[in-house]
């Protein structure tokens, strides 16, 4: 008889993690919610350990510890446990977690959730709890899908569902749906691999033996697939249920086991076949099968095996592999213990331990401690497969992208997935830490690879930042008005003004709005990093611009002039502007006074420029001041001594003589319309503006 054992048999990663967690858990006040897996042998072993299996949260006492199995639970279970002080050990499979996330996200977007699976399966029940139990569950291609016609549908699948049935159901849903159908093929990749292998075996073998719990969904799927292509399919829950007479006459036999079937059960079935002399006698090739099982070449790197301790020596242990009478050495360095002591292991002779196949050549190398390392790695890889971010250091690059190592996994980041935009120089990333999210995880024997992306993380962060900024901007513009007085921090200065942060938004204080007297540099008025009050001058929501002013909240120089400058006071100033009818003198920044041409000197002059230049510093007497009208009249000649007046009069020989004391000075003609319009109020040198205007008209 030719016996073919399926390569992908026994516990999957998620189930193994859940079982190992339960078996290593302190049983005191500890519970398992539902059967840890659908396998009577394993469930009994956990029960014998002291853990209690319950069917609902109501059966749990407050403050206990509960294990959530790999099938997952409804979302609200976590909150219930937290409120009751129940510690949760979450063993939900990474593939199931990914499906839960999809259901939650798509439901929040208003999609109608369709779950392809068995309505009574724990995983499906758990998924319903991530969309308020409002999903539709379908399990057959013949179901009625007409209700989806007018809905935006999101389809997910039970991770252990038949791939062939899934494809048929999707095809039928698309036929009736008029709107969007978004499909997530959430079947576990190990499930698909097992199903494909069973299909191949059942086509070339005369008989198939399916080993696993009778209530195991994934094992039943394997049985259904095998039965489609092979007429002789046996369903076994254990070696005890194997009737040798039913298989002894077949020339070829395929053996497969479900994801919830311990390796020991499959080996027991094989061992029973090997030990049965009747089968051996009838089928001489059975000895070859046993010899092949005993041969090291049957092992694969990364495979776990159950071995029996036969000896304990100073160098380590001697072990017996299943179906073998040959001892294999296990180095003490490969044992999961801090300090090896042969005496401690002498009492364990006859016990079984789980080992990992590390190397095949030049000789078989096994390890116990590497199992824990890989379990931790696989647990983490399951989370990574579910979308968890992870980090690696880039070790190199090729034409396609970047490469790195994550434990026993090789990591590849395609060039387009490094960051948003084109990356020209890949070499600069070598030695740098990459933040990644898995796109795909490939497992092919001992070759394991993660295809990952850093771009999606950076893009999400950029989008989140932009969304937060936009929300903040919208809130800012909704709550600000022209005329509001706001506090802002000066962030930076430019030649045209200062950028000021107001509630996190950059506003512009133009340099012309900083001081009434005008400034050349922002820092002449404002200090970088310091906060001031500003007034909102202009708002442009469309272009996201706000103009603010500082000087508008400060008093103008003329506002402070009342009482500071009085008629009769003498000031010292600088000539800043000369016009035909006089000269303007800067008394202080922002306050100018006019020295009329008649008040510059006792001489008769045609234009102020014959006596004064811009920039000259002069002393002058205030002869009139009006702070309300913001005008000041000055006289330079009023400060000239009496004798200088006479001197000037004597020197003007040939011209109109200076008047005698008490006489009236000759009046100068006003020849400028500007002069008339500018000085139509007040007085100049004691002579009213009205008189000057009258004289001007008469002279004309």
C-alpha 372/C-alpha 17 separation (Å) is 11
- What residues contact residue 410 under an 8 Å CB cut-off, 6+ apart? 403, 404, 447, 448, 449, 450
Give the SS3 label for residue 3.
strand
CA–CA separation, 290 vs 268, rounded Å? 13
Distance (Å, whole) CA 253 – CA 250: 7
Written in H, E and C, the secondary structure of 242-287 is CCHHHCCCCCEEEEEECCCCCHHHHHHHHHHHHHCHHHHHHCCHHH
Distances (CA, A) of 489 to 390, 483, 528, 539: 39, 18, 8, 18
**Is 123 one of the annotated active-site residues of the chain?**
yes
**Which token pair is 444?**
């092919």
Collapse the DSSP code of 378 into the 3-class scheme (helix H, G, I; strand E, B; otherwise coil) and give the result.
helix
Annotated catalytic residue, options 35, 123, 385, 675: 123
Residues ≥6 apart with Cβ < 8 Å to 529:
489, 490
SS (H, E, C) 403-439: EEEECCEEEEEEHHHCCCCCCCCCHHHCCCEEEEEEE
Residues 155 and 114 sit within 8 Å (Cβ to Cβ): yes
Question: Which residues, in sequence order, are CB contacts of 487 under 8 Å at separation 6+?
Answer: 502, 531, 532, 533, 534
By C-alpha distance, which of 582, 584, 606, 602 is closest to 593? 584
**600, 612 Cβ separation under 8 angstroms:** yes
Other Cβ atoms less than 10 A from the Cβ of 608: the count is 22
Taking CB atoms within 8 Å and a gap of at least 24, the contacts of 78-83 are 81/57
Helix (H, G, I), strand (E, B) or coil at 139: coil
Which two three-digit tokens encode residue 244? 């040798």
Sheet holding 112-116, edge to edge: 136-138, 112-116, 153-157, 181-183
Residue 220's nearest CA partner among 268, 171, 160, 168 is: 160
Number of C-beta neighbours around residue 348 at 10 A:
12
The pair of structure tokens assigned to 73 is: 């639970």
Contact 16, 42 (CB under 8 A): no
Nearest-Å Rg of the Cα atoms of the chain is 48
Q: Catalytic amino acids?
A: 123
């Amino acid at each position: 008889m030719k016996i073919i054992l399926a390569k992908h048999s026994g516990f999957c990663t998620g189930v193994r993690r859940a079982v190992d967690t339960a078996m290593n858990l302190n049983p005191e006040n500890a519970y398992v919610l539902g059967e840890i897996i659908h396998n009577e042998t394993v469930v009994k072993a956990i029960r014998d350990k002291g853990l209690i299996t319950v069917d609902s949260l109501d059966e749990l006492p407050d403050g206990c510890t509960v294990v959530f199995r790999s099938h997952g639970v409804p979302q609200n279970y976590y909150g219930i446990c937290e409120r009751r002080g129940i510690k949760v050990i979450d063993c939900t499979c990474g593939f199931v977690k990914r499906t839960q996330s999809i259901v939650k996200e798509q439901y929040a977007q208003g999609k109608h959730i369709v779950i392809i699976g068995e309505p009574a399966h724990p995983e499906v029940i758990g998924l319903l709890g991530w969309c308020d139990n409002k999903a539709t569950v379908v399990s057959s291609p013949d179901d009625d899908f007409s209700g989806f016609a007018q809905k935006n549908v999101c389809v997910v699948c039970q991770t252990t569902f038949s791939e062939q049935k899934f494809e048929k159901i999707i095809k039928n849903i698309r036929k009736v749906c008029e709107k969007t159908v978004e499909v997530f093929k959430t079947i576990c990749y190990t499930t698909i691999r097992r199903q494909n292998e069973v299909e191949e075996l059942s086509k070339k073998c005369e008989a198939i033996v399916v080993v696993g719990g009778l209530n195991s969904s994934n094992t039943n799927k394997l049985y259904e697939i095998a039965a489609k292509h092979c007429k002789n399919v046996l369903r076994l829950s254990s070696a005890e249920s194997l009737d040798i007479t039913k298989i002894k006459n077949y020339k070829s036999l395929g053996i497969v086991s479900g994801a919830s079937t311990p390796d020991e059960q499959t080996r027991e079935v094989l061992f029973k076949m090997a030990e049965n002399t009747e089968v051996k006698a009838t089928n001489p090739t059975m000895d070859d099968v046993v010899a092949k099982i005993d041969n090291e070449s049957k092992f694969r790197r990364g495979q776990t095996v159950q071995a029996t301790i036969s000896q304990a020596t100073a160098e380590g242990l001697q072990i017996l592999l299943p179906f073998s009478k040959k001892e294999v050495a296990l180095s003490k360095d490969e044992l999961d213990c801090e300090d090896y002591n042969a005496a401690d292991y002498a009492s364990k002779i006859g016990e079984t331990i789980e080992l990992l196949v590390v190397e095949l050549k030049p000789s078989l190398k096994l390890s116990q401690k590497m199992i824990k390392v890989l379990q931790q790695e696989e647990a983490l890889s399951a989370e990574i497969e579910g979308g968890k971010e992870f980090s690696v250091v880039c070790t190199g690059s090729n034409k396609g992208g970047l490469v790195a190592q994550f434990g026993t996994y090789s990591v590849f980041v395609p060039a387009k997935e490094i960051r948003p935009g084109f990356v020209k120089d890949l070499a600069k990333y070598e030695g740098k830490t990459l933040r990644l999210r898995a796109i795909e995880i490939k497992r092919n024997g001992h070759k394991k690879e993660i295809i990952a992306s850093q771009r999606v993380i950076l893009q999400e962060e950029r989008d989140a930042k932009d969304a937060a900024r936009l929300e903040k901007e919208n809130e800012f513009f909704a709550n600000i008005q022209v005329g509001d007085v706001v506090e802002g921090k000066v962030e930076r200065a430019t030649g045209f003004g200062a950028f000021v942060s107001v509630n996190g938004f950059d506003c512009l204080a133009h340099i012309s709005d900083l001081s009434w007297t005008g400034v050349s540099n922002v820092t002449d008025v404002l200090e970088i990093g310091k906060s001031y009050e500003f007034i909102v001058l202009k708002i442009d929501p469309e272009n996201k611009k706000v103009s603010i002013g500082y000087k508008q909240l400060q008093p103008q120089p003329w506002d402070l002039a009342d009482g500071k400058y009085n008629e009769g006071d003498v000031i010292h100033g600088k000539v800043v502007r000369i016009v035909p009818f006089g000269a303007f003198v800067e008394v202080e920044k922002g306050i100018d006074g006019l020295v009329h041409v008649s008040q510059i000197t006792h001489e008769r002059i045609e234009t102020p420029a014959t006596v004064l230049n811009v920039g000259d510093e002069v002393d002058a007497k205030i002869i009139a001041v009006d702070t309300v009208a913001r005008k000041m009249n000055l006289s330079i000649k009023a400060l000239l001594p009496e004798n200088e007046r006479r001197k000037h009069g004597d020197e003007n020989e040939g011209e109109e003589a200076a008047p005698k004391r008490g006489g009236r000075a000759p009046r100068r003609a006003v020849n400028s319309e500007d002069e008339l319009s500018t000085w139509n109020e007040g007085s100049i040198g004691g002579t009213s503006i009205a008189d000057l205007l009258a004289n001007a008209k008469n002279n004309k």
